[in-house]
Amino acid sequence: MHDVTFALAVLLVAGFLTAKLGQFFRLPSVTGYILAGLILGPSGVGLITKDVMGTKLEHFTQIALMLIAFGIGEHLELKRLKYMIKSIGLIGLCETSGAFLLVFTGTFFVSRATYHGDPVWTIGNLFVLALLLGAVSVATAPAATLHVMRELKARGPLTSTLMAVVAVDDALAIMFFGVAISFAHHVLGGTGSILLAVGESLGEIFLSLSAGVITGFILDLTVKSLRHRGEMLTLGLAMLLVCGETARLFHFSPLLAGMAAGFVIINRGRRDVRVFNVLHAFEPPILVLFFTLAGAHLHFISLAVAGWIGITYFLLRGLGKIAGAYTGSRLAATPVTVRRFLGVALIPQAGVAIGLIFLIQSDPRLALFSDVITPVVLAGVVLSELIGPLCAKFAVERAGEVTVGGRKYPEIPPNHRFDVRISKPDIVTLVPWAWERLPPPVNANGTVVIAGSHIKTVSALSRIAALIANYHQARPLAVRVVSEQSKRTAREQRHIQETLFKAAEREIRGLGTRLDFEVVRAKTVPDGIVESARKNRSFGIVVGHPQRKVNEYHRVVENVANESGCPVIVARFVGELHTERILVPIIDHEDLAAIESVLCSLAAIGQHNILLLRLVPSGSYREALASEKKELERWTEEADLACGINFKVKSSETLLESIIKESDNHDLLVMAAEESRGLPRLFFGSLSEDVARNCSKSMLVVYSPKP
């Protein structure tokens, strides 16, 4: 068959029908696709020729690999994996080392027995052969694993760990292979430096990841302004293909680049996952072609040519993955299901391993080894691609992480605009105080510092500080820092000080309580605020949101919170300040601990309508939504916030737009600030700052000190 269009139709129909047939026997769809390709390819009826596979349909393979790599990056959300980073590193190192050591040792002794008496196969050559086979065995097939997880809609500790480990496998495979090639050249009489080879491998990994990071950053910045899913699909696919082909042009790893792009987007503060969703909808026919073509590339003759070395390679690679994953899981103290089933799910091997074979074939000095390695690894690929998906399916089913249900991605109306930036008003208007007056504390046990620096916002800051102080039975304390770096004269300083203190005192007295004052001389304003907070045992520091130099301001606020040991509440005011209807977006369970005291302070006086908005990843199922709601209910009971509290758990494609849309029905937002600075803040951004820039409501952002 030489007509490409007809070949595409045959591959799609055969893959679809074989997958449907396999479902009657509880086989994963990917196994059906591979079997269809095996039947249609040269090892079967020969309907799909090598020419069609190798040149005319190769582009679909490249597209599929980039979509697969991008999808793996989606599973590397730091908020979900931050408690697993150590375990993922240990497991990844152990399972790759286990496969390498067992395959290296086993194939060395088996090949020595196989080629006994052959003068060509000296001990040195057998060592190189075993070394290269061990390096290739490290690689795992992310495509088959990801497809099985999606088909089963698997979610849980095993699934999260599995996808993260598969993601790091490719980086480790490149490193192992680079070092193995260097050793091989040394044993064969080469002069290349081992350190240079290791450095080149690390450089390839770094540049591949850099290309992906840049792509992800550009995608996130551009997609946020699009509303039509067709536009998102076009731009997303174009950027991914440019990224992959650029990486291939400079001999980087397209897989690593694609994973890095997905990693950046899923970890941005606004977490806009619409581009993932539109690409997921585009994937099915591409993946059918990919796996069917992968099956067509397999040759049963490889099993016969590989002989005992091939059997040893396949069995010891699987044993090494299982034993290494179990060892790493024990060292990392992971859940029992991860220890028992992770290694079984790492059996599949395909694309990366075949790519490494091509690299060996292209090296003239390794021609002798290529004739043995190619059939051995291809035999392992045949077996692992047929058995591997079944193993992955078995693992997640036994771990109890298979979910039923479907996804639904609602269309965003084209005319719904969220990106309207709100300029800071000239002055904040305060609603007259209509609730009960705040009694002055009889035995105050601390303070709440008001660090106001502008006459237009100091009254509003004082009201927020007074409410927090009332909850803690503390005193509101207005602090004016006289900085040594200030260029103002003493007279100007006194005038500003008196003006601010009078405005703050007028507001505090109107609430029924009283205000204390303090002037602090310090090298810098942050130093003075920290000194006052420590000296006066502060329960919180209330400051205004800046108009300029926002990134630098975040860094200063985080330092003040950490050094003072108390929360810093950054208030951004828009128009008239109301606190009756409060929206509290919750992205992570740690957010609850950060905002608890501020929320309790606001709810302690008057009647409020408080909505806890828990935003979970798009595609979460009803069981997960119900579990999150129960967690919120439990927290409100423990915090004694049962009155006036409502709950809303929502799966969200883009956090920023979900919060902005919900804020239309509220007066005030209360959010926890993200713990990130430097490059992480530059690349991942700040959700709270994005909300502050794009929301037309007043807002309190709470920075908690690090424990």
Both 348 and 438 in a single domain?
no
With cut-offs at 50, 70 and 90, classify the pLDDT of residue 193.
low
With cut-offs at 50, 70 and 90, classify the pLDDT of residue 538.
very high
- State which residues form the domain around 210: 4-398
Q: Quick check: 360 pLDDT over 90?
A: no
pLDDT at 323: 92
Across 201-215, 233-247, 666-680, the highest mean pLDDT is recorded for 233-247
CA distances from 118 to 103, 122, 184, 685 (A): 22, 8, 20, 62
Q: What is the pLDDT of residues 621-677, one digit of tens each?
A: 777 788 888 888 888 888 887 667 888 898 888 888 889 888 888 889 999 987 655
Q: Quick check: 302 pLDDT over 70?
A: no
Both 312 and 359 in a single domain?
yes
Q: Would you say residue 42 lies in a domain?
A: yes
Indicate the SS3 state at residue 450.
strand
**Based on the structure, what is the number of domains in the chain?**
2
Q: What is the pLDDT of residues 541-595, one digit of tens each?
A: 999 887 666 666 777 888 888 888 899 999 988 878 888 889 999 988 888 888 8
Q: What CATH number should be reported for the domain holding residue 586?
A: 3.40.50.12370
pLDDT at 418: 31
Q: Quick check: 164 pLDDT over 60?
A: yes
With cut-offs at 50, 70 and 90, classify the pLDDT of residue 320.
very high
Q: Which helix (H) or strand (E) holds 15?
A: helix 4-23
Q: Which helix (H) or strand (E) holds 480?
A: strand 475-483
The mean per-residue pLDDT over the stretch 468-489 comes to 82
Both 172 and 278 in a single domain?
yes
CA–CA separation, 601 and 476 (whole Å): 13
With cut-offs at 50, 70 and 90, classify the pLDDT of residue 503.
confident
Q: What is the DSSP letter of 421?
A: P
Which residues are 611's β-sheet partners?
A: 583, 646
* Helix, strand, coil percentages for the chain (3-state, nearest 5): 60, 10, 30
Which residues are 516's β-sheet partners?
A: 477
Radius of gyration of the chain (CA): 31
Q: What is the pLDDT of residues 256-265, one digit of tens each?
A: 788 889 888 8
CA–CA separation, 310 and 365 (whole Å): 22
CA–CA separation, 443 and 363 (whole Å): 82
Q: Quick check: 405 pLDDT over 60?
A: no
Among residues 383, 398, 413, the one where a domain terminates is 398
Tokens of 136: 């290739």
Both 433 and 390 in a single domain?
no
The mean per-residue pLDDT over the stretch 432-447 comes to 82
Indicate the SS3 state at residue 298.
coil
CA–CA separation, 565 and 549 (whole Å): 24
Q: Which helix (H) or strand (E) holds 312?
A: helix 301-332
pLDDT at 551: 63
Are the C-beta atoms of 298 and 377 separated by less than 8 Å? no
Both 445 and 550 in a single domain?
yes
With cut-offs at 50, 70 and 90, classify the pLDDT of residue 409.
very low
CA–CA separation, 651 and 672 (whole Å): 19
Are the C-beta atoms of 582 and 609 separated by less than 8 Å? yes
Both 341 and 456 in a single domain?
no
CA–CA separation, 166 and 350 (whole Å): 13
Both 679 and 571 in a single domain?
yes
**Mean pLDDT over all residues of the chain?**
79
Among residues 398, 421, 446, the one where a domain terminates is 398
Q: Look up residue 650 and give its amino acid.
A: K
pLDDT at 280: 79
pLDDT at 468: 92
Name 30's Cβ contacts closer than 8 Å, sequence gap at least 6: 19, 143, 144, 147, 148, 151, 291, 389
Q: Would you say residue 85 lies in a domain?
A: yes
Q: Would you say residue 456 lies in a domain?
A: yes
Tell which wins on pLDDT, 687 or 239: 239
Name 555's Cβ contacts closer than 8 Å, sequence gap at least 6: 677
Question: Percentage of the chain surpassing pLDDT 90?
Answer: 8
Q: Would you say residue 198 lies in a domain?
A: yes
pLDDT at 702: 92
Indicate the SS3 state at residue 406.
coil
pLDDT at 424: 41
Cα 477-480-485 angle, rounded to 5 deg:
150
Both 378 and 453 in a single domain?
no
Q: Quick check: 86 pLDDT over 60?
A: yes
What are the φ and ψ backbone dihedral angles of 552, each rounded to 5 degrees? -65, -35
Among residues 398, 418, 451, the one where a domain terminates is 398
The mean per-residue pLDDT over the stretch 466-495 comes to 80
Both 352 and 496 in a single domain?
no
CA–CA separation, 43 and 50 (whole Å): 11
Both 442 and 380 in a single domain?
no
With cut-offs at 50, 70 and 90, classify the pLDDT of residue 214.
very high
pLDDT at 103: 92
CA–CA separation, 554 and 557 (whole Å): 5
Q: What CATH number should be reported for the domain holding residue 168?
A: 1.20.1530.20
The strand pair at 447-450 and 538-544 is best described as parallel
pLDDT at 125: 84
The mean per-residue pLDDT over the stretch 329-355 comes to 80
Both 362 and 253 in a single domain?
yes
CA–CA separation, 454 and 496 (whole Å): 9
Q: Would you say residue 249 lies in a domain?
A: yes
Q: Would you say residue 420 lies in a domain?
A: no
Side-chain half-sphere CA neighbours of 200 within 13 A = 14
Both 353 and 440 in a single domain?
no
CA–CA separation, 423 and 419 (whole Å): 13
* DSSP string covering 504-542: HHHHHHHTTS--EEEEEEESSHHHHHHHHHHHTTEEEEE
With cut-offs at 50, 70 and 90, classify the pLDDT of residue 178.
low
CA–CA separation, 646 and 407 (whole Å): 26
* DSSP string covering 595-657: HHHHHHHHHTSS--EEEEEEEEETT--HHHHHHHHHHHHHHHHHTT--TTEEEEEEEESBHHH
Its sign, for the CA torsion 223, 413, 621, 143, is negative
pLDDT at 105: 92
Q: Would you say residue 288 lies in a domain?
A: yes
Exposed/middle/buried for 47, CB within 10 Å: 0-12, 13-18, 19+?
middle
Tell which wins on pLDDT, 290 or 247: 247
Choose among 352, 386, 303: nearest CA to 34: 386
Is pTM beyond 0.85 here?
no
Q: Would you say residue 404 lies in a domain?
A: no
Order of strands, sheet of 698-703, starting from the edge strand that comes earlier in the sequence:
516-522, 475-483, 447-450, 538-544, 568-572, 698-703, 668-672, 581-586, 609-617, 645-652
